[in-house]
Amino acid sequence: MKNRNVLISGASVAGPALAYWLHRHGFTPTIVERAPALRDGGYAVDFRGEAHLSILRRMGILDDLERARTGMGSMSYVNSAGKTQAKMPADLFAGDIEILRGDLARILYDATKEHTEYVFGDSVASLTEDADGVTVTFERGAPRRFDLVIGADGLHSATRRLAFGPEERFVKHLGVYCAIFTTANHLGLDHTGHAYRTGNKLVAMYSARHNTEAKAVFYFGSPELDLDRRDVARQQAILAEHFTGNGWQSDRLLHDMRQAPDFYFDSVGQVRMDAWSRGRVALVGDAAYCPSSLSGMGTGLALVGAYVLAGELAAARGDHRVAFARYEQELRAYAEGCQKMGDGVAKLMVPSSRFLASALNRYYKIMPYLPGKNMASKMARKTAENITLRDYTGGDAPRRPSSPTGSRRAR
């Protein structure tokens, strides 16, 4: 085995999942995370289908996720007075297991902290590759040498920018912005949520952590904005500009937003790349193939990607050229299928006019009585299960060697 010493940038989902499997296969992972500690809060994420559940089971964390699951039921669309107009089935949103992203990050951290070096409050500043490894400089820490570097740092990946080029080459803005934060469950929601949709806007609340709190979610349509992603005051001002006087709980939630400990604001986008690796640097999860937060597929795809990337490195005995090519070969079609689930969802989430929003609300009202009412949830499950996972512990027959570059196909 060679190239054992691996730096991973990002401590959300893909990074710790990758660290878990790298350690299982005999590598030594280090994770660097810009945030000073694990990020709490965030929206609910879900896993569905045997591909996802089998990986969680093999990691030994399925029971932990079961205990922390949201237990969400149906989601209700309401009018300005809060009266239910339509209900959407739980399986469409929650899958087999739904859990808050912050809770998932904590479980993954606990599963890896004994064998993974975590460096919080720092980030990669530069990458210099040579024949024997990569010299990494950090914003705060001293430079270090690693055999391989993996970017698991999300939609706005710094690793991708350093190794592949500017973000605008790879990130496609879907015309929507999202904000989410924790608030009081003042509606008394019981493992459910309410959503209020108007032209180009949607505001929602759903209960969390066994109804002891709630998540407030805002979506609004907009072309890409020139914003500093760390300027929270400006982000909150933009949200207030769009939603003040919008109706239902909008004004109450905008007031609560100012005191929220975990306010999050970002564009909704997809990442499209012809290749996920360059030399000794590779990408995993949203950094490589983000399907968008509206697809419902991002977290499961990150989990599968981490499993496959670590497994291919082990199968290639650490030969990154072979392993990275096989990783793309194994995962490309699956990732593209997950991305298709995100195509078009933005227009359904925030229709461009009040007329379209009203028409969509009326459609949702009668949808339970129409043929094919479960089509969307069935499509999501089929997409999530559309991969056959190789057993990298030795259960599968070895494959013939492939060209390190021949398996990549242009989009």
Alpha-carbon span 286 to 170, nearest angstrom: 11
What is the phi/psi pair of residue 105, to 5°? -60, -40
Torsion, Cα 349 171 40 194, to 10 degrees, reads: 0
Q: Taking Cα atoms as reference points, which of 275, 284, 67 lies closest to residue 159?
A: 284
Res. 297 pLDDT band, cuts 50 70 90? confident
Calculate the CA dihedral of residues 244, 247, 248, 251 and round it to 10 degrees: 20
Please provide residue 315's backbone torsions phi and psi, each rounded to the nearest 5 degrees.
-65, -30
| Band of pLDDT at residue 294, cut at 50, 70 and 90 | confident
Indicate the range of 89-93, 173-177, 185-189, 300-304 predicted with least confidence: 89-93
Q: What is the pLDDT of residue 355?
A: 67
SS (H, E, C) the chain: CCCCEEEEECCCCHHHHHHHHHHHCCCEEEEEECCCCCCCCCCEEEECCHHHHHHHHHHCCHHHHHHHCCCCCCEEEECCCCCEEEEECHHHHHCCEEEEHHHHHHHHHHHHCCCCEEEECCCEEEEEEECCEEEEEECCCCCEEECEEEECCCCCCHHHHHHHCCHHHCEEEEEEEEEEEEECCCCCCCCCEEEEEECCEEEEEEEECCCCEEEEEEEEECCCCCCCCCCHHHHHHHHHHHHCCCCCCHHHHHHHHCCCCCCEEEEEEEECCCCCEECCEEECCHHHHCCCCCCCCHHHHHHHHHHHHHHHHHHCCCCHHHHHHHHHHHHHHHHHHHHHHHCCHHHHHCCCCHHHHHHHHHHHHHHHHCCCCCHHHHHHHHHHCCCCCCCCCCCCCCCCCCCCCCCCCCC
Q: How confident is the model over 33-72, as pLDDT tens digits?
A: 999 999 876 788 889 888 999 999 999 999 999 998 887 8
CA 11/CA 153 separation, integer angstroms: 8
Tell me how far apart the terminal alpha carbons of the chain are, to the nearest angstrom.
33
pTM to 2 decimals? 0.89
pLDDT in tens, 122-159: 999 999 999 999 999 999 999 999 999 999 999 999 99
CB 150 within 8 A of CB 284: yes
Give pLDDT tens digits for 350-407.
766 676 767 766 666 666 655 555 666 677 778 878 889 999 986 433 343 333 333 3
pLDDT computed for residue 366 by the predictor = 61
Q: Contact, 119 vs 30, CB < 8 A?
A: yes
Q: Which residue has the tokens 């991708």?
A: 160
CA–CA separation, 133 and 401 (whole Å): 23
pLDDT at 365: 65
- 213-221 β-sheet, strand order: 84-88, 75-78, 193-198, 201-208, 213-221, 171-183, 264-271
Q: Given this model, what pLDDT does residue 406 score?
A: 35
CA angle, residues 115, 117, 119, in degrees to nearest 5:
155
- Burial of 340 by CB count in 10 Å (0-12 exposed, 13-18 middle, 19+ buried)? middle
Question: Any idea where the domains of the chain sit in the sequence?
Answer: 5-384
Rounded CA-CA distance 69/92 in Å is 16
Query: Does domain 5-384 match CATH 1.20.1090.10?
Result: no
Token representation of residue 128: 């210099």
As beta bridge partners, residue 268 has: 176
The pLDDT, as a whole number, for residue 340 is 85
User: Nearest to residue 403, comparing CAs of 304, 335, 307, 328?
Assistant: 328
Look up residue 302 and give its two tokens: 């990150």
Whether residue 119 has pLDDT greater than 90: yes
Token pair of 339, please? 């991305």
State the pLDDT at residue 403.
37
How high does pLDDT run on average in the chain? 88
Residue found by looking up tokens 């990275």 in the block: 324
**pLDDT at position 84 over 60:** yes
pLDDT value of residue 396: 39
